Amino acid sequence: MSNLARLLEQHRANPEKILYRQHIADAWQDFSVRDVMALAARWQQAFRSLGYERGDRVALCLRNGVDWVAIDQAALGLGLVVVPLYADDNPQNLAWCLADSGARLLVLENTRLLAALTGTMQAPPTIVCLHGEVPAPAISAGGWLPESGGPFEVSDLDAHALATIVYTSGTTGRPKGVMLSHRNILSNVAAALEVVSLHPGDLLISVLPLSHMFERTCGYYVPLQAGVPVAYARSVNQIAEDLAVLRPTVMVAVPRVFERFLARIEQALAASPLKRGLFHLAVALGWRRFRGRACALERALFRLLQPVVAQPLLDRLGGSMRLAVVGGAPLELRVARTFLGLGLCMLQGYGLTEASPVVAGNRGGDNDPASVGAPLPGVEIRLNEARELLVRGSSVMLGYWHNPEATAEALGADGWLNTGDLAEIRAGKIYIKGRSKDILVLSNGEKVSPQSVEMAILGDPLFEQVMLAGEGRAYLVLLAVSRESDEKTLVRRANAQLKDFPRWVRVRRAIAVQEPWTLADGLLTPTMKVKRAEVGRKFSAQIERVYRKAIRTV
């Protein structure tokens, strides 16, 4: 298989097989192999009519759904290069990515971004909108797509042919266009399926944006290869209702999704000391059982609590969830301990866009939630002198689009990709310690990896989001999104989580933040990682005031 579009074509002999479920016009609708192939063929005919040739770039700025899949498969089948863009990104960033990629076509969900985009770009590409009244110069897909496209075409391509340019949502600076080949992604799909098994009766729910490589590979290409149907959640705000209706068995998600579920559970239990006590007991017993340390009495007690305490809580995930694959950001051990203790199989993995993206993952029979697991089959790992994780394998990118300097910095001539993540490797498993570029150096020369400290602080449910400041300073200041506004309480609770860290890793002051950081305000990446530079800029005045006040009172 040398073309990603063969993932769809392989199901041609079973045209009635259901591949997707999507909420349209107030109802859930199923889409078969025949439906998806027919829609993809129509887009291919449209691409031909525009004279597109292999290597031409087509940009998608769409919500998750069958249209995304069909256009992606149509483009890949003809050897076009897909440029996925975040539907919630700001127009200036979208315009930059479009210009940098040289995309000839942009497909938009609707006209919401149209005026801002056309006003930002001097020479915008051809723009097609799927929905709404479309003003010139854009085109409405409804009247533009041919009614029939003939047979779905899958061209024979060189395995190393460029399939996609994915712009990284980095926490600093301009995004870089990661070039991934058909071979890169297909090898990652095959390796992932050796680690995680999907069953014929499974239903996967898609929550993360398909423009992110984690969802695109694990929530789209992997289930398509396995022939497992995918249901598209309507939104994060409606996920609880969608889970109840769809009853999926598998979910691929960032930790933030499960953090929110846990917060709702804790809020619901807050009014009842008895229910709260039974919940904590069930989790503790289940965690000991998961780790193989429960005695016969503890196992028996958990069996009594499971149907009356654990299962009703898991029913909030639809009642049929058997597997949760978590990645894209670090998973708090508190969150993993809770859901594993309740009986849900939760596997944390690790990857980056430059590796298509999965590098490592825990296995069902060998699961250490404090780690991101062992490397996938065919993936080599090692640490350099700076303790940064290096990765090599067939899923590693071709390089950065039109950026040879960045390519040379990240990718060695011997094929080793520098992930930029600090790590330890113990018993074949990877333990991520933070980003090397984010290291804070205090004024006394001591170095602090902020991510590991922040993860420890988040072990206290009082904190919703946190970020440390302190570069070049005498001590650390904590920015904390929390329902608590008292600084002394925040400092005390944060430091209670840092007892196992060196003595200089203590929070001296805290800044309470009332409004959560979001993707919409530009403070989070699409996988809910904090954009450190943006948060630092937004709260720079408050941070400076805290340090100046401390100097005046010395």
CA distances from 202 to 12, 17, 226, 227, 301 (A): 20, 14, 10, 10, 30
427 Rama sector, left if φ>0, alpha if ψ -120 to 50, beta otherwise: left
Query: Stretch 453-458: mean pLDDT, rounded?
Result: 91
pLDDT per residue over 48-70, tens digit each?
999 999 999 999 999 999 999 99
Task: Report the C-alpha gap between 439 and 420 in whole angstroms.
Answer: 11
In this model, does residue 549 exceed pLDDT 80? no
Counted residue by residue, the chain has a size of 554
What tokens does 364 get?
Answer: 């069902």
In this model, does residue 470 exceed pLDDT 70? yes
pLDDT value, residue 442? 82
Domains of the chain with bracketed CATH = 6-157 (3.40.50.980), 439-552 (3.30.300.30)
pLDDT value, residue 550? 60
Whose tokens are 């409804």? That residue is 142
Q: What's the chain's average pLDDT?
A: 93
Query: Stretch 128-149: mean pLDDT, rounded?
Result: 91
Among residues 383, 294, 273, 276, which one has the least CA distance to residue 340? Answer: 294
In this model, does residue 551 exceed pLDDT 60? no
**Ordered strands of the 463-469 beta sheet:** 463-469, 476-482, 507-513
The amino acid that residue 495 corresponds to is N
Which SS3 state, helix, strand or coil, does residue 15 take?
coil
In this model, does residue 352 exceed pLDDT 50? yes
Task: Report the C-alpha gap between 388 and 253 in whole angstroms.
Answer: 25
Burial class of residue 402 in the structure, from the number of CB atoms within 10 Å of its CB (0-12 exposed, 13-18 middle, 19+ buried): middle
| E strand segments, 73-138 | 81-84, 105-108, 126-129
pLDDT per residue over 222-256, tens digit each?
999 999 999 999 998 899 999 999 999 999 998 88
Query: Stretch 141-146: mean pLDDT, rounded?
Result: 92
Query: Which residue has better confidence, 74 or 526?
Result: 74
Q: Which of 341-350, 438-447, 544-553 has the highest mean pLDDT?
A: 341-350
Q: Say if CB 496 and CB 460 are below 8 A apart.
A: yes
In this model, does residue 97 exceed pLDDT 70? yes
> What percentage of the chain's residues is helix, strand, coil (to nearest 5)?
40, 25, 40
Q: Say if CB 106 and CB 95 are below 8 A apart.
A: no
DSSP 8-state code for residue 151: S
Among residues 174, 218, 210, 162, which one has the least CA distance to residue 397? Answer: 162
Percent of the chain with pLDDT over 70: 98
Among 83-87, 257-261, 313-317, the least confident range: 257-261
Q: What DSSP string runs through 396-465?
A: S-SEETT-HHHHHHHB-TTS-EEEEEEEEEETTEEEEEEEGGG-EE-TTS-EE-HHHHHHHHTTSTTEEE
Query: Stretch 463-491: mean pLDDT, rounded?
Result: 92
Query: Which residue has better confidence, 173 or 395?
Result: 395
In this model, does residue 373 exceed pLDDT 90? yes
What tokens does 527 get?
Answer: 């996988």
Task: Report the C-alpha gap between 200 and 62 in whole angstroms.
Answer: 29
Percent of the chain with pLDDT over 90: 77
At 471, the pLDDT band (50, 70, 90 cuts) reads confident
Phi, psi of 160 (to 5 degrees): -90, 5
In this model, does residue 554 exceed pLDDT 60? no
Phi, psi of 118 (to 5 degrees): -65, -30
Query: Which residue has better confidence, 237 or 445?
Result: 237
Listed as own residue / partner, the contacts of 167-170 with beta carbons closer than 8 Å and 24 or more positions apart are 167/83, 167/85, 167/97, 167/100, 167/101, 168/353, 168/354, 169/86, 169/212, 169/525, 169/526, 169/527, 170/525
Who's near 532: CB < 8 A, 6+ residues apart?
171, 172, 438, 450, 467
Task: Report the C-alpha gap between 368 and 375 in whole angstroms.
Answer: 13
Q: What is the dihedral of CA 165, 171, 173, 177, to 10 degrees?
A: -10
Residue environment code for 510-524, b if the CB has 16+ CB neighbours within 10 A, otherwise e: bbbbeeebebeebbb
pLDDT value, residue 1? 63
In this model, does residue 71 exceed pLDDT 70? yes
pLDDT value, residue 171? 46
Q: Say if CB 327 and CB 207 are below 8 A apart.
A: no
Q: Say if CB 396 and CB 403 are below 8 A apart.
A: no
pLDDT per residue over 296-323, tens digit each?
999 999 999 999 999 999 999 999 999 9
pLDDT value, residue 115? 87
Query: Stretch 417-431: mean pLDDT, rounded?
Result: 96
pLDDT per residue over 163-214, tens digit each?
999 998 654 467 899 999 999 999 999 999 999 999 999 999 999 999 999 9
pTM of the model: 0.88
Task: Report the C-alpha gap between 506 and 475 in whole angstroms.
Answer: 8
CA angle 13, 15, 16 (to 5 degrees): 135
Q: Say if CB 381 and CB 430 are below 8 A apart.
A: yes
